Structure 1
Amino acid sequence: MRDGHIHSPYCPHGSDDTFEDYINKAINTRLKEITFTEHLPLPNNFIDPSPNQDSGMDEGVILDYFNELYRLKDKYKNKIKINVGVEVDYIEGYENEIKEMLNKYGKYIEDSILSVHMIKIKDKYYCMDFSPSEFEKMINLLGSTKDVYNKYYETLKLAINSDLGEYKPKRIGHLNLVRKFNKVFPYDYKGNERLEEVVMLIKKNKYEVDFNVSGIRKKYCKEPYIHDHLLDLIKKYNVPIILGSDSHCCRDIGSTQEYTSII
C-alpha cells in the first residue's frame, strides 16, 4: 500500500495536477504511504539533451517544492504518510556536481531514487526514453540494439558505484527503462550478463529497487520496468522492492496496486 515514485506540479514535463490532487487520489485508493520524487535540478554546467530541456526541476523553485511538501505532510499526517523526496538523474562525468547538489539540499530529503535517463556516447549525451527516433540514433551510433542495452547497463553500474556523498539515494529507479521502445526495437535481454551484474551490485550495496509500473502505460513498452527475467534476478538475489507508479498526473495514482502480490 505504498507508492514510492510520484511526480508533481513542479515537473517541467508533467501535468498541472496539484499536490493535493495526487494526495487525495492516493487516499481514495487506500494507499498508506507515498513519496513525491520530483527530478532534482540538473548540474548548472550540464546541457540537458532533451529537446525542451525540461528533464529536471528549476533550482529557483526547489525550496518552494520542499516547503510546500512539508506543509502538506503535516496537514495530511492523520490520513497518509507523505515522504518528501527527489529523483536524482545520474549523469556520467558529472558526479561531483550531483554530489554538491545533494549536499546542498540533502537535509530536506527523506526518500529518493537514483535513475539513469541519459547515456554518454562519444562525448555527447542522449535521452534513453525520449522517442523511438532518438533510440534509433543510439543504435546507429553504437552498432546494435544489444549495444544500447549494454551501454545502459554499464551506465547503471557506474551510477550504483558512484560516490554521490551521504545523501546518495538508496533506491535504483526503473532498471529496464532501456526497454521503453522494445516493441519497435525488440531484444531478448535474458542472456545479457551485464544485467545480472547490475542486480548483484545493487544487492552488494544493500540498495532497493523501484518496481516502476509506468512502462505498462507506454505505447511501445507495455510491461513494467521490472519484468520477466529481471524480476527473476531480483528475486534470486532477494533485493528489496518498492512499488512506484512514476505518476506525472494524479489519474495514475493507484496503478501499482495490482502488483502488490509480487512483493
Structure 2
Amino acid sequence: MRKRDGHIHTPFCPHGSEDSLEKYITKAIDEGFTEITFTEHAPLPISFVDPTPDKDSGMKPELLEAYFEQLHLLKEHYKKQIIINIGLEIDYIVGFEQQTRNFLTEIGPMLDDAILSVHFLQHAGNYTCIDFSENVYLQFAEQVGGIEAMYNLYYETVKQSIVADLGPYKPRRIGHPTLIHKFQLAHNQSINDRAQIEAVLQLMKTHGYELDFNSAGLSKMYCQEPYPNYEYAAFAKQIGIPIVFGSDAHTAKDLHQHYDALQQKLSF
C-alpha cells in the first residue's frame, strides 16, 4: 500500500522545532510510509513585511541553499527505502504575485513538489496572518466587518491564488483550503460557508489542482477537524480532485498525525 505524506516542515522552519531531517525520515520509514515531501515555508517576498511579532513566517533566504543541499544528500542516501521529494510551501500574497513568480522561476527547477497556501489576508492596505492566534483572528474579523466577512475574504483570496499567473513552476497543490476554520470554535458563530468551499473546490478541479487533505486542524483546540473537513474532502474526491494527505508536521512527533483516522473516513 502506498502511504504518502505531502506536507512536512523541517528544522529550517523558524517557528518549528529543531528535530533533524533524519528524525522525520526514519520515523516515516518506521511507520511504513513510501513517499514524503518536505515543504518548508519558502522565504517571503523581500519587500513584504511579515506581520507576525517575530517575523518568522518564512525561511530565511540565506538558508535556502543549505535546505536544498541537505535534502539532495538525504534523498540519495535513503532512495532505496523511501521516496523523498524536495518541496516548499509557497505563500500566495495579494499584491506580491510578480515577486512570487520571479522566485518560483528561479528555484522551480530544484523542486520535486510544492504547495500553494494562503496565510495572509489583506485589508485596508495591511496584511494579517490569520492563523497566528485566536486573538489576531478575532481582531481581524472585527476590522473586516465580522466573521462571515472574514471567511468570504479568505475564500476569495484562495480563489485568486488558484487563478493567479505565477509562472510554469507554480505549485499544483492547494494547501489547507479551509484554514479559516482554525479558530472556528473561538467565535461561537455558525457560519454556512458551504457554497464558498464548494466553489473553491470546483475551481481547483477546473484548473487541475491537487488537494492538501491536511490533518493538523484535528490537533488545534479551536478547530477539531481536518482542512477541509471530511464532508468537503469527500466532495473533492467525488468531483475527481487528487487528494494528498498532509500532516503539516512542524515536529517529528506530529509527523503523520491522524493519518489512520483520515484514511478510515476517506480512502485516498
Give me the TM-score of the superposition, normalised by structure 2. 0.95
Q: Helix, strand or coil for the counterpart of 2:6?
A: strand
2:49 to 36, 47, 50: 47
| Change beyond 3 A, Cα 1:191–1:226 | closer
| Change beyond 3 A, Cα 1:23–1:133 | same
User: Quick one: distance in 2 between partners of 1:236 and 1:78?
Assistant: 34
Q: Helix, strand or coil for the counterpart of 2:183?
A: coil
User: Quick one: distance in 1 between partners of 2:157 and 2:238?
Assistant: 22
**Corresponding position of 1:257:** 260
Whether contact under 8 Å (1:114, 1:169) holds in the other structure is yes
1:135 to 128, 134, 137: 137
Residue-by-residue CA offset, 1:7-63 (whole Å, 9 max, x unaligned): 001000000000001001101111110000001110001100111110101110101
Instruction: Tell me by how many angstroms 1:171 deviates.
Output: 0.2
| Change beyond 3 A, Cα 1:49–1:191 | closer
What aligned pairs does 1:1-263 form with structure 2 within 5 A after superposition? 1-255=3-257, 256-261=259-264, 262=266, 263=268
Instruction: Tell me by how many angstroms 1:189 deviates.
Output: 4.5
Whether contact under 8 Å (2:212, 2:244) holds in the other structure is yes
Instruction: Tell me by how many angstroms 1:234 deviates.
Output: 1.2
Whether contact under 8 Å (1:40, 1:86) holds in the other structure is yes
Whether contact under 8 Å (2:85, 2:113) holds in the other structure is yes
**Matched residue pairs, number?**
263
Segments of structure 1 that go 5 or more residues without pairing to the other structure are: none
User: Quick one: distance in 1 between partners of 2:111 and 2:230?
Assistant: 32
| Change beyond 3 A, Cα 1:189–1:229 | farther
| Change beyond 3 A, Cα 1:139–1:42 | same
Q: Helix, strand or coil for the counterpart of 1:150?
A: helix
Identity %: 43
Segments of structure 2 that go 5 or more residues without pairing to the other structure are: none
Alpha-carbon RMSD: 1.2
| Change beyond 3 A, Cα 1:196–1:142 | same
Residue-by-residue CA offset, 1:188-220 (whole Å, 9 max, x unaligned): 444542222211110001111000000111111
Instruction: Tell me by how many angstroms 1:161 deviates.
Output: 0.6
Instruction: Tell me by how many angstroms 1:80 deviates.
Output: 0.6
User: Quick one: distance in 2 between partners of 1:259 and 1:32?
Assistant: 17
Whether contact under 8 Å (1:39, 1:87) holds in the other structure is yes
User: Quick one: distance in 2 between partners of 1:239 and 1:186?
Assistant: 31
Q: Helix, strand or coil for the counterpart of 1:88?
A: strand
Whether contact under 8 Å (1:31, 1:254) holds in the other structure is no
Whether contact under 8 Å (1:179, 1:221) holds in the other structure is yes
User: Quick one: distance in 2 between partners of 1:154 and 1:229?
Assistant: 21
